[in-house]
Structure formats: structure tokens, C-alpha cells
Amino acid sequence: MDDNRTELERLGEFGLIDRLADGVKIYHESTIKGIGDDAAVIDAGDKYMLLTTDTLVENVHFNLMYTPLKHLGYKSAIVNFSDIYAMNGDVRQIVVSIAMSNRFSLEAVEEIYDGIKKACDLYQVDLVGGDTTSSTSGLIITITAVGEVAKDEIVYRSGGKEKELLVVTGNLGAAFMGLQVLERERQIYLENPAIQPALEGVDYILERQLKPEARKDVIHYLKSLGVKPTSMIDVSDGLASEVLHLCKAGNLGCALYDEKIPVDQETFRVAREFNLDPTTCALNGGEDYELLFPSNKLITIK
């Protein structure tokens, strides 16, 4: 046993990021913001360029037993778009890298790209390149998104002020409960393939899991109101985690009220069926891709 060995599970994802970022040097004045926000910020002259990347790994982030390939492609793009919107910017381009084994056919890869192209069409984003390679450990999709934002419109995780109200752009916990339903039906299928999946009455939470949307609409809505958040983050890892990020970055604390956390009726009902606390699902579920930000104004998000 190596006494100097540190198990990654002791650090967790965010602890690992902090350790890896420690000692990283910035050599160029054009690097405005590096590790520690939803996207890196690069000075591109009149505007800031925003850069972000996400990797989705088979059997870690998705299971192909219940994830349609087109939906997977769409979602892999959306998770990157959301990071750019969390900086109050707009997505302009993406590059896509896919590693796959020989069990995937040309038609399967085209299905994935059809989903990515669908997201690009809907959000008006250019797919400008990428890479393909082989894999012996399943399907891996990595997308890097490039965005831009006016220099006076950039929003970081830091910047929140005392006595502001935390606002979230939609209900939470639905994607997590959609995943619980899919995992339940997968297990039932493995035990008895003759049983048809029971997916009636859960359309909304399944869509939130398999085909999420990024809140570009909210970014432009706030700008039309003349509202610029003091800080912002997207809810990809659960409300509790994202609130901690905002508090840590702004050196502030906050109070969350159970009755104020938005949970959809379908999410609430299915959580109870699974003997889960709906608030816990909202706090810890993740993959909602709503935006969270403090505000000194009462804002109604449609």
C-alpha cells in the first residue's frame, strides 16, 4: 500500500479540479478568465471569446439501452451551449470529437450527428470541425463550444451581492427523476425482456433527461429587460452544488427555502412513487440546465 496515494473519491470532482488548477500559470494578457467558471474568457478585441468543453462517456453519463442516438447527439451539444449562456454570451461554433468501437455502424454515427446538427440548427450554431477515433471502452463524445459576449455584458460566477434574491429559470429535479424511471425500466427489462416498459404519464421528465434545452431564451429576455445578473451559473450538477459555487466565488452565504424551490408536479409525483424527497432530487439531481443567478429585482421567467 502506497501511503502517499490519494484516492480520487476522497477529493470528488470539484476537489480534483481545484487540485489540478493549483499552480496553473497564465502567460498571455488575452486570457481574462481561466479555470473556475462555466467557460474560459479570452480577449478577442472588441468582444470576449468564450470557450468550454464537455465529455460524455458511455455507461457514465448515458446508457445506450434507453438513450436514442439522435437524442444523445442533441444533448451533447446542449450541455455545452448552456455553459456559454451561463456567461451571458451567445454560442457561435462547436467542434465535435467522437471515439467509438467497431460495434457502431455508419448509420449509428450519422444518427448522433443528426442530433448535433438539430441542436445547431435550433440554436444557430456552426459545426466547424472535430475528430473521430477508435475506442475499446465504449462511446465517448467531446464537444468544445466557442461563444462571444460584449465586454460590458460578461457575467462570472463571482459578483453576487448581499441581500440579492436567488433566481432559477425553471423547475428542478425533473431530469433526475426521468433517469430513475429509465433505470428502473432497464432493470426490469434485464430481468424479463418480455415485459413492456411502463412509461405512461412521465413524458415531461423523460424529455428533461433525454432532450434538455439550454436557456438562450432567458439570456435574451433579460437583456430586453435591461437586466444583467451580477453572477450566474447553469444547473448541471444540482441546485445545492451550484449555489455553493456561487457562494464560494462571491464569498457570500445564502438561505434556501424548501417551499420556494420549483418542482414540477410530475417530478413531485414520481419522486414520491420512488420514495424519494422531491426537494432532495432538486438539490442534488443535476442535468436540469436551468440558469441560476442572484437578482435585486423580482423577475418572472416564462
Look at residues 198, 185, 186, 201 and name the one whose alpha carbon lies nearest to residue 267: 201
pLDDT per residue as tens digits for the range 85-127:
999 999 999 999 999 998 899 999 999 999 999 999 999 999 9
The count of C-alpha atoms lying within 13 angstroms of the C-alpha of 211, restricted to the half-sphere facing its C-beta, is: 14
Q: What is the model's pTM?
A: 0.93
Residue-averaged pLDDT of the chain = 93
Cite the beta strand spans of 20-89 per DSSP E.
31-33, 40-43, 47-57
pLDDT tens digits along 163-214: 899 999 999 999 999 999 999 999 999 999 988 888 999 999 999 999 999 9
Our separate counts of H helices and E strands in the chain read 9, 9
C-alpha cell of 131?
475528430
Asked if residues 259 and 144 have their Cβ atoms less than 8 Å apart, the reply is: no
Which domains does the chain show, CATH number per domain? 11-21+30-150 (3.30.1330.10), 165-295 (3.90.650.10)
User: How confident is the model at residue 4, as a pLDDT?
Assistant: 77
Q: For residue 96, list its beta bridge partners.
A: 130, 143
Q: Tell me the C-alpha distance between 245 and 239, whole Å.
A: 10
User: What angle separates helix 265-273 from helix 174-191, to the nearest 10 degrees?
Assistant: 40
Residue owning grid cell 423577475: 299
Determine how many CB atoms are found less than 10 A away from the CB of residue 80. 24
Q: Are 91 and 79 in contact (CB under 8 A)?
A: no
- In the numeric block, which cell numbers belong to residue 81? 451551449
Cα 18 from Cα 79, distance rounded (Å): 22
Helix (H) or strand (E) holding 282: helix 278-284
**Does position 26 have pLDDT exceeding 60, yes or no?**
yes
Q: What is the C-alpha separation between 174 and 32, in angstroms, rounded?
A: 35
Give yes or no for a contact between 187 and 64, defined as CB atoms under 8 angstroms apart: no
pLDDT tens-digit profile of 255-267?
Answer: 999 999 999 999 9
- Can you give the pLDDT at residue 23? 75
In this structure, the number of other CB atoms found within 10 A of the CB of residue 34 comes to 14
Instruction: Say if residues 285 and 236 touch (Cβ distance below 8 Å).
Output: no
Q: How many residues does the structure list for the chain?
A: 302
Residues 6+ apart with CB under 8 A from 37: 87, 156, 157, 249
- Contact between residue 253 and residue 96 where contact means Cβ atoms under 8 Å apart: no
- By DSSP bridging, strand 126-134 and strand 291-295 are unpaired
**Is residue 12 scored above 90 in pLDDT?**
no
Tens-digit pLDDT profile for residues 146-177: 999 999 999 999 988 998 999 999 999 999 99
Beta sheet of 291-295, edge-to-edge order: 165-168, 291-295, 233-234
Q: What is the pLDDT of residues 242-298, one digit of tens each?
A: 999 999 999 999 999 999 999 999 999 999 999 999 999 999 999 999 999 998 766
